[in-house]
Homo-oligomer: A and B are copies of this chain.
């Protein structure tokens, strides 16, 4: 009977993501998204309860796009590594959303589906019960932490420049390590850390 809806929540999430990708996370506001869609600010509230939900939609859009088809043919560790890498790539394609993924992760269907996929691989590998819980949470923690370190740290680049001006005497190891750090690129570093976790998980 009534006038039909002219937008889907997906379109709204896409508009918000466009704003974030173009102007950065601080530029995300109800006004900005409405402008992006060519409608008034308040019209947005017909589709979305509040800003929180808008953010949730953006996170779902990004996290929901991760390919969860089982990577087959290799070891279980490698299959998990593929799932983790897909997640990292998807989030990494939209660095501005990283802080949002943190705040809204726990109510994301996308992350639950991803977790389910990882649990499946772990189960195949013979990791059971308590061990499996710990393994999943460990993987999730590492992945989440590493993605953040990567994007929030490089955001300003202040991290590395601050390193340069450190008092050598107080930070001998850090100074020495900084030299090596420049030789390890982000992908290798991420994979290296992931391997630490994967090595620590004991299969059957």
Contact = CB atoms under 8 A, between A and B. Distances in A.
Interface stretch (A4-12, A37-45, A132-140): A132-140
Interface in A97-154: 99, 102-103, 105-107, 112-113, 115-116, 119-120, 123, 129-130, 132-138, 140-146, 148-149, 152-153
4 closest Cβ pairs, A-B complex: A145-B145, A196-B200, A138-B193, A119-B173
Contact of A200 (B132, B137, B195): B195
Interface residues of A, number: 59
A135 B146 CA distance: 12
A119 B174 contact: yes
Contacts of A171: 112-113, 116
Interface string A14-50: 0000000000000000000000000000000000000
Interface of A: 99, 102-103, 105-107, 112-113, 115-116, 119-120, 123, 129-130, 132-138, 140-146, 148-149, 152-153, 155-156, 158-159, 162, 166, 170-174, 177, 180-181, 183-184, 189, 192-193, 195-201
Contact of A177 (B105, B132, B198): B132
A34 B180 CA distance: 45
Q: Which secondary structure dominates chain A's binding surface? A: helix
Given A123-B173, A142-B141, A196-B135, A103 B112 contact: no
